[in-house]
């Protein structure tokens, strides 16, 4: 009897289950059904997303950090031709985004002066559309003088130590770019402010051996390249105003001399991650 009763009710139960499953499926389809976007609507949506992303990137570059590429050898051996560096644009104050594009930057808070020895990126005073990178040597209020290639700050010399024949000097010369290999180069360890670094000089170059004693005005900075005899800097065109300084160089994140340039193609993976002092 029980067996017969189960057999009689079986088809009815299966039918009810099928109906319930079909109803559930229809409800699920209705819930998940969304209106199809036209081709034009898709393009507009993607354009808005891309524009927002680009705007966020531009704000990030304007306020926080910006990458730069080193095209010349004026900062050798601290920076080599082909180095890609990251610059901290908050080092000397937090700026209103894009405020430095068309005029002097507007600082919201934290405006500060670069320290002696900082490596900075700035607008070239003679053509503000061009970016330069040099080391801050003289600060506002300093007296500055060069005698026989020795820098004097407030009448005190910045002492140098010849390391050309040391391991550090040989390593630098082994990696020297071809355009400088034919010169009589000497390498010196110096301490500019709190930063210890190496400078490069050409012993056969006597063009800028001295610089008359001057006083650096308020809000202005005297900058020089570490490749002293191959750097176009404050010795030639004067001071850098604070408003022209974009930020402090932090580290090398890539190093590659691109093809089709005046220099030989070269990849320096060992420089990746090198801090800039």
Q: Is the pLDDT of residue 48 over 80?
A: yes
Position 62 confidence tier, pLDDT thresholds 50, 70, 90: low
| Co-location of 163 and 70 in the same domain | yes
Examine the residue annotation and report whether 134 is marked as an active-site residue of this protein.
yes
- Burial label, 87 (beta-carbon count in 10 A; 0-12, 13-18, 19+): buried
* pLDDT tier at 3, thresholds 50, 70, 90: very low
Residues 6 and 91 in one domain: no
* 172 and 218 share one domain: yes
- Which pTM value belongs to this model? 0.80
Instruction: Kindly name the residue from 89, 95, 123, 134 that is annotated as catalytic.
Output: 134
Q: How many domains does the chain have?
A: 2
Helix (H, G, I), strand (E, B) or coil at 131: strand
pLDDT of 213 reads 97
**pLDDT at residue 5 greater than cutoff 50:** no
What residues make up the domain containing 3?
Answer: 1-29
pLDDT in tens, 253-274: 999 998 877 888 999 999 999 9
Distance, in Å, from the CA atom of 150 to the CA atom of 137, rounded to the nearest integer, reads: 12
Q: Are 2 and 134 found together in one domain? A: no
From residue 152, how far is each of 48, 131, 133, 214, 277 by CA, in Å?
Answer: 56, 27, 22, 11, 20
Over residues 63-97, the pLDDT tens digits come to 689 999 999 999 999 999 999 999 999 999 988 88
Residue 42 lies in a domain: no
Residue 46, domain member (yes or no): no
Round the average pLDDT of the chain to a whole number and report it.
Answer: 87
Q: Are residues 24 and 73 in the same domain?
A: no
pLDDT at 252: 98
Q: What confidence score (pLDDT) does residue 30 get?
A: 45
**DSSP-derived secondary structure for 37-104:** PPHHHHHHHHHHHHHHHHHHHHHHHHHTEEEEE--SSTTTTTS-TTEEEEEETTTT-EEPTTTTTTSS
Burial of 214 from C-beta contacts in 10 A (0-12 / 13-18 / 19+): middle
The verdict on residue 226 lying in a domain is yes
Catalytic residue among 74, 91, 234, 255: 74
Predicted pLDDT at 51? 85
Do both 265 and 143 map to the same domain? yes
- Mean pLDDT is lowest, of 100-104, 152-156, 228-232, 240-244, for 100-104
Say whether both 139 and 199 belong to one domain.
Answer: yes
Is 123 assigned a catalytic role? no
Task: Write down the pLDDT at residue 29.
Answer: 43
Task: For tokens 């400088």, name the residue.
Answer: 180
Asked if the model's pLDDT at residue 24 lies above 70, the reply is: no
Q: What is the domain-level CATH number for residue 236?
A: 2.10.109.10
Q: Which residue has the higher pLDDT, 9 or 270?
A: 270
Q: Is residue 55 situated within a structural domain? A: no
Assess whether 71 and 22 both reside in one domain. Answer: no
11, pLDDT greater than 70: no
In a domain? residue 61: no
Read off the pLDDT band of 14 (50, 70, 90).
very low
Residue 249 domain flag: yes
Q: For residues 13 and 90, state if they share a domain.
A: no
Residues 253 and 207 in one domain: yes
In a domain, 96, yes or no: yes
How far lies 155's CA from each of 44, 88, 116, 117, in Å? 65, 32, 16, 17
Residue 52 counted as domain residue: no
Please tell me whether residues 105 and 191 are part of one structural domain: yes
Q: Is the per-residue pLDDT at 189 higher than 90?
A: yes
On whether both 9 and 117 belong to a single domain, the answer is no
């Amino acid at each position: 009897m029980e067996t017969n009763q189960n057999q009689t009710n079986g088809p009815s139960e299966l039918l009810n289950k099928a109906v319930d499953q079909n109803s559930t499926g229809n409800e699920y389809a209705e819930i998940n059904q969304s209106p199809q976007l036209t081709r034009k609507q898709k393009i507009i949506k993607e354009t808005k997303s891309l524009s927002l992303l680009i705007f966020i990137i531009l704000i990030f570059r304007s306020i926080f950090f910006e990458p730069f590429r080193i095209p010349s050898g004026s900062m050798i051996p601290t920076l080599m031709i082909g180095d890609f560096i990251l610059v901290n644009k908050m080092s000397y104050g937090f700026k209103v985004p894009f405020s430095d594009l068309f005029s002097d930057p507007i600082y919201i808070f934290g405006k500060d002066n670069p320290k002696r020895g900082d490596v900075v990126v700035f607008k070239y005073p003679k053509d503000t559309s061009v970016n330069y990178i040099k080391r801050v040597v003289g600060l506002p209020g300093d007296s500055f003088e060069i005698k026989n290639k020795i820098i004097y700050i407030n009448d005190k010399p910045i002492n140098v130590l010849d390391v050309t024949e040391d391991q550090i000097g040989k390593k630098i010369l082994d990696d020297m770019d071809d355009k400088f290999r034919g010169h009589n180069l000497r390498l010196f360890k110096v301490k500019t402010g709190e930063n210890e670094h190496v400078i490069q000089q050409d012993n056969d170059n006597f063009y800028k051996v001295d610089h008359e004693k001057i006083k650096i005005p308020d809000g202005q900075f005297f900058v020089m390249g570490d490749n002293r005899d191959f750097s176009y800097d404050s010795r030639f065109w004067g001071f850098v105003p604070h408003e022209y300084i974009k930020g402090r160089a932090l580290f090398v994140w890539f190093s590659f001399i691109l093809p089709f340039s005046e220099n030989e193609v070269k990849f320096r993976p060992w420089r990746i991650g090198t801090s800039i002092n």
